[in-house]
Structure 1
Amino acid sequence: MKLKRYLQVTKPGIIFGNLISTAGGFLLAAKGHADLSVFLATVIGLSLVVASGCSLNNCIDMDIDCKMARTKNRVLVTGVMSFKAALVHGLLLGVAGFWTLWHWTNPLAFACALFGFVIYVGVYSLYMKRHSVYGTVVGSLSGAVPPVAGYCAVTGRFDMGALILLAMFCLWQMPHSYAIAIFRFKDYEAANIPVLPVVKGVSAAKQQIVLYILAFAAATVMLSLGGYVGYGYLAVACATSLWWLKMALSGYKHGIDDRTWARQVFFFSIITITSLSVMMAVDFQTPAHGVLAFTF
């Protein structure tokens, strides 16, 4: 039971989702020649960093978690785990994760992870989430870091492929998060968290969901246009993006239940990003030098 609480405070579902995207970015860059030791160090290191961020987020959000139905049973709210234990646990996980990335990957992958961690814990959790409707935008930056860090762990440079991944996963986060905010509207309202549906209304959030899915679809195609992936990936990207867009547009049908619709959009967002992470890992290509092949 004691081990279970230490696991729960790290939000295992989020860790698993980030692990898949990290592996996708790494294998995309490796192009079939993955170094197993570097791969393991990357996914383990980043998983530990994500676990650390989630643990610290639980510590920061104790006062608002108790007001929300979906979070009121978290271990810190119920008292199953103490604040001090969660804080120390989170810090130790962070040290272990960053040490792993520093010693077994490269400085750029380490820097990517550090950037994401600081944005999530220091900027999003401590301030933006509670004070600005743009908190979701800021949070999307940290959510996009794992695949980029996985990619950079192989290449050691930030090139167009890394930039496209950053854009893809940032844009994906927005409709994904807004859908959650719609079907959990009462939770966010009760906790006084200024997410878009609460501040500007569900109609505004629906519009933003459609626009962000369109932008996401364009970003996914850029990986193919840049020569990083093959036609298999392109087919899956087009099919999932168009179906996701169709689902989003169905939110304008007369008499539709917004909560049910938002749940469907949310769940399909997970299917979409998981499918693309898998396809970029298996349908990689070597891009030709050209306009889309710059390097920082």
Structure 2
Amino acid sequence: MSSVTPVPVDPRAEQAPRTTLSVVKAYVALTKPRIIELLLVTTVPAMMLAARGIPSPWLVLTTLIGGSMAAGSANALNCVVDADIDAVMKRTKSRPLAQHAVPTRSALIFGVVLGVLSFAWLWTTTNLLAAAMAVGAILFYVLVYTMILKRRTAQNIVWGGAAGCMPVVIGWSAVTGEVAWPALVMFGVIFFWTPPHFWALAMKFRDDYAAAGVPMLPVVATPQQVAKQIVIYSWVMVAWTLLLLPATGWVYAAFALLAGAWFLVFAHRLNSAVRKGEPNNPMKLFHLSNSYLTLVFVALAVDSALSLPVLGLPF
């Protein structure tokens, strides 16, 4: 896979935006707030399961602040490394560095400072384990996924997506000071959720990824192969959610089964349409995947607050 042709530097690239508000908006955009929102949705339920109830509101707040800074750091540094790709892809060409709204050096400093602050904040307000794992997630996302995997292999999002699974483990460790098996199961749920989520998006924007030289699976494989892989990962994801049943109650069990069946129906519909050469819209599955993950983890939070474990197995 050839590397992306460098984007010519605009003479205005190092000029700051004219207003304070535009500066703030540009730096906030570097952190990709919508991605952070989804990560936080999974963190709070993980903390509630770890506490078997409602943890300290202060602990939840400090963990979310530290997690947001860590995710913002990773996303900002990702924008720095991927500025050439973002400028080529229609979906990302409005990002700050692609639009020269933020100087590259400033974005780099911003990302590093956020990472340092997240470590210091989490260490001070939670514990060293949570802080160290936050830094590990940043480094993995930037160095392993963005700089190594993304431009070299169609399995980029499979293994690179592990960084996005870390918030649940960080949230668990913030409460307990350790990592137990339910945290690893939640990690696995998000790990297996990531490929169907991103491959559905990549099916829609296949030409974008191809133009940018990014070997996402839909770029290097046939639509039929991609749809089949989405179905396989979807089944593993739904099955994996059931591994939490020994530590959860009936509320979670019911929603994990119902939401899982809902997701599988859409995954199979996409696969069937692609296999038959019929019109299809993979973005339906992409948007559904966000709703699915939110629903499962909200059910986990409610279950943790209200229910007793089905089997009562210890953590």
What TM bracket, shorter-length normalisation? over 0.9
Relative to 1, partners in 2 of residues 1:235 and 1:184: Cα closer, same or farther, differing over 3 Å? same
2:180 corresponding residue in structure 1: 159
How many aligned positions are there?
A: 288
TM-score, L = length of structure 1: 0.93
Whole-Å Cα distance in 1 between the matches of residues 52 and 141 of structure 2?
30
Partner residue of 2:279? Answer: 257
Structure 2 unaligned regions, length at least 5: 1-21
Bigger radius of gyration among the two: 2
Task: Give the secondary structure class of the aligned counterpart of 1:144.
Answer: helix
**Residues 18-67 of structure 1: CA deviation (Å, up to 9, x unaligned):** 11111121122122241222211111101100001000000000111111
Q: 2:70 aligns with which of 49, 72, 94?
A: 49
* Structure 1 stretches of 4+ moved >3 Å: 285-290
1:230 maps to 2:238 = no
Matched, 1:173 2:180: no
1:200 to 218, 221, 234: 221
Question: Is residue 271 of structure 1 aligned with residue 291 of structure 2?
Answer: yes
- Alignment RMSD: 1.5
Does the CA contact (< 8 Å) of 1:28 and 1:282 recur in 2? Answer: no
Aligned residue number for residue 129 of structure 2: 108
Cα drift, residue 288 of structure 1:
6.0
CA contact (8 A) 1:25 1:150 kept: yes
Asked if 1:247 is matched to 2:269, the reply is no
Q: Deviations over 1:177-221 (max 9, x none)?
A: 111110111111111101111112221111111011100111111
Of 54-63 and 36-45, deviating more is: 36-45
The answer to whether the Cα contact below 8 Å between 1:45 and 1:97 also exists between their aligned partners in 2 is yes
Is residue 137–residue 174 contact of structure 1 (8 Å, CA) maintained in 2? yes
Which of 105, 112, 116 does residue 84 from structure 1 map onto?
105
Q: Percent identity?
A: 35
Query: Could you tell me how far 1:155 is from its partner in structure 2?
Result: 1.6
Do the aligned partners of 2:251 and 2:302 also contact (CA within 8 Å) in 1?
A: no
Partner Cα separation in structure 2 for residue 105 and residue 283 of structure 1: 24
CA distance in structure 2 between the partners assigned to 1:266 and 1:194 by the alignment: 19
Deviates most, 34-43 or 9-18? 34-43
Under a length normalisation based on structure 2, what TM-score does the superposition of the two structures give?
0.88
Q: Which runs of 5+ in 1 are unaligned?
A: none
